[in-house]
Structure 1
Amino acid sequence: MTEQNDNVTEKKVWFITGAGRGMGTDIAKAALAAGHAVVATGRNPEKVTQAVGASEDLLALKLDVTDPAAAEAAVQAAVDRFGRIDVLVNNAGNFYAGFFEEITPEDFRTQIETTMFGPMNVTRAALPVLRAQRSGLLVTISSTAGIAGGEFLTAYAASKFGVEGWAESLAPEVAPFGIRTMIVEPGFFRTELLTPESTQYAESTIEDYAERTRQTVAAWRSMDGQQGGDPAKLAKALLQLAELNEPPLRFAAGADAVGVFEARAKELQEQADARRELSSNLAHEDA
């Protein structure tokens, strides 16, 4: 690990993926405004710098999160520049929407590669650094689609449910090393997720789905730019949570996300109660 001047090493270092636009940009700006050093990554580092704004505390790096070698190189560059990583924010993502029968296997796998294996690649690269420090916070931007699936969300929800299970299971593995994890489930925020650059819709090829596809795509396109959540406020909330000694394992981001949490909790309780007697009488007789 290279030596750094005192001014740099005193700052907390945030490593943020997908910082070239959307929520990642807001998180990077908020971290810089709070006096932290920021490693902001994206597929085009020049666009990252343009979006976030030049700063001596900013290191913009090229990173395709689906490439494990690129993740290792980015983490090494972060350590070479700032000496440490305190908060890793796995934010990079995309959205393949459509009915399961119409999403191609290739597109489904691409969704999983980016929004499930992407965070895993970056975290795997960063964990040796955090373990050596005996400190750090792993923040994974999930979605309410990781709490409750829904129509048109098979690929996206599959990736987010996977991320949820991975991050929740990772938490006790790394806690002995002073590393904390936090899963963030945003509802609808006014980001660029629903823009043509981030969302791809499956081609309508099956007549049985055609009308529902047309209605769903039209509805979602009409929501672009009209979502209720303010990503700048979410970024500030994440900075506040990151300062806690015990950040929450999950954070419902937005009033709509709180509603999803509550509805899912109620649904699970109802499902547990509905067949409680049958469920509770499945043991071996000698058990």
Structure 2
Amino acid sequence: MSEKKVWFVTGAARGLGVDIAKAALAAGHVVVATARKTDSVTAALGAHDDLLAVELDVTDPAAADAAVEASVDRFGRIDVLVNNAGSFKAGFFEEITPGDFRAQIETTLFGPVNVTRSVLPVMRSQRSGTIVTISSTAGISAAGDFMTAYAASKFGVEGFMESLTSEVAPFGICTMLVEPGFFRTELLSPLSTQYAAPSIADYAERTTATVEAWKGMDGQQAGDPAKLAAALVQLADQDEPPLRFVAGSDAVEAVEAKAELLLAQADAYRELSATLARDA
């Protein structure tokens, strides 16, 4: 590490956010740890001279502005933003209410949009900064039941950050998308996962099986979030962080499979595609 940096971490009261905050502090950095309630941050992380707990609901743009202002007032800058706050609205598309589908997008897509919008003026003025956004393998490959809302939000995050990269690069700002596989965080716990109420008989049997499978995975995931957090701090400290970090061997396999599938799909109708140009 070349210097002490100011890290701004959303969703830092539980799950991966706590591990990221702890890893950044352990590396000698300053951390602004945000959550809907600051006392939950204090309970999770304790007291530390280099830690500032700030209230933030990422779905509220005004709250994002206020949290960034508080951070700059205290520490003068923001060097690393970690868009981590999230939730999981699980269920078959027809059974997820429009309100819950929209709430998923508000949290896991517009949350990063809101916070990034608030932080970028600070980073531009510094002519430096790194934006780390926790995506998911569901943002690369959405195969599987119960993930329509979640995958839609994560595919959106992927497109948002990938496009933002070239816009902010001239100001010395880097972006890094993180696509974790299954880590033993709280994402599948009742605190983060809400299942759609069963309402359609055609889905009933698969709903029961899928809910049992998801609940059975909670607390059994192979990935260690503390190791992931340490890896993210290591990568963010590089002069040129990777544009993507595919985290976990299961994630690597999923991304490789999707890449192979896309190549196969592009090739399948190559001759037909070649006939679609306008005639001279």
TM over 0.5: yes
CA–CA distance in structure 1, aligned partners of residues 31 and 275 of structure 2 = 55
State the partner residue of 1:65: 58
State the partner residue of 1:137: 130
Of 122-131 and 244-253, the range deviating more from structure 2: 244-253
TM-score by length of 1: 0.96
CA–CA distance in structure 1, aligned partners of residues 274 and 42 of structure 2 = 57
State the partner residue of 2:165: 171
Work out the number of aligned pairs and report it. 277
2:67 to 74, 82, 95: 74
Amino acid in the other structure paired with 1:18:
G
Amino acid in the other structure paired with 1:125:
S
CA–CA distance in structure 2, aligned partners of residues 266 and 11 of structure 1 = 41
Amino acid in the other structure paired with 1:54:
A
State the partner residue of 2:5: 12
Q: Deviations over 1:232-270 (max 9, x none)?
A: 000010011112111111110110110111001100010
Amino acid in the other structure paired with 2:155:
F
CA–CA distance in structure 2, aligned partners of residues 66 and 31 of structure 1 = 25
TM-score by length of 2: 0.98
State the partner residue of 2:141: 148
CA–CA distance in structure 2, aligned partners of residues 184 and 87 of structure 1 = 14
Deviation at 1:54, TM superposition (A): 1.1
Deviation at 1:53, TM superposition (A): 2.2
Unaligned runs of 5+ in 1: 1-9
CA–CA distance in structure 1, aligned partners of residues 68 and 173 of structure 2 = 17
Deviation at 1:37, TM superposition (A): 0.3
Amino acid in the other structure paired with 2:206:
R
Of 126-135 and 44-53, the range deviating more from structure 2: 44-53
Moved >2 Å (runs of 4+): none
CA–CA distance in structure 1, aligned partners of residues 85 and 243 of structure 2 = 20
SS at match of 1:76: helix
Do structure 1's residue 226 and structure 2's residue 220 form an aligned pair?
Answer: yes
2:48 to 37, 51, 55: 55
Percent of aligned positions with the same letter in both sequences? 73
State the partner residue of 2:191: 197
Do structure 1's residue 101 and structure 2's residue 94 form an aligned pair?
Answer: yes
Deviation at 1:52, TM superposition (A): 1.5
State the partner residue of 2:248: 254
State the partner residue of 2:84: 91
